[in-house]
């Protein structure tokens, strides 16, 4: 566990893990020929029970920002 994670709740850590899984799945789906952001977002929103399709791009940006801060992207 990283030093930063010591101050996070278990819920926050679980949320970050779920968002990272969505981010990874999003990137895999976007590699498919002809994949469109709107279609992939709709699919992932329904799969992960998000009401708004716009939530997925927000999650992707949030995870990318987190990875850049950690120096992993």
**12-31 pLDDT, tens digit each:** 999 999 999 999 999 999 99
Q: pTM score, two decimals? A: 0.86
Q: Average pLDDT, whole number, for the chain?
A: 91
| Separation CA 23–CA 13 (nearest Å) | 15
36-45: average pLDDT: 96
Q: How confident is the model at residue 1 (pLDDT cuts 50, 70, 90)?
A: low
- What is the number of helices (H) and of strands (E) in the chain? 3, 0
Q: At 20, phi and psi to the nearest 5?
A: -65, -40
Query: CB–CB of 23/59 below 8 Å?
Result: yes
Q: How confident is the model at residue 71 (pLDDT cuts 50, 70, 90)?
A: confident
User: What pLDDT, on a 0 to 100 scale, did the predictor assign at position 4?
Assistant: 65
């Amino acid at each position: 566990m990283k030093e930063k994670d010591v101050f996070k709740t278990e819920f926050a850590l679980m949320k970050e893990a779920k968002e990272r899984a969505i981010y990874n799945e999003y990137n895999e789906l976007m590699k498919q020929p002809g994949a469109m952001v709107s279609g992939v977002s709709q699919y992932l929103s329904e799969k992960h029970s998000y009401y708004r399709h716009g939530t997925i791009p927000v999650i992707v940006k949030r995870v990318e920002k987190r990875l850049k801060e950690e120096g992993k992207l």
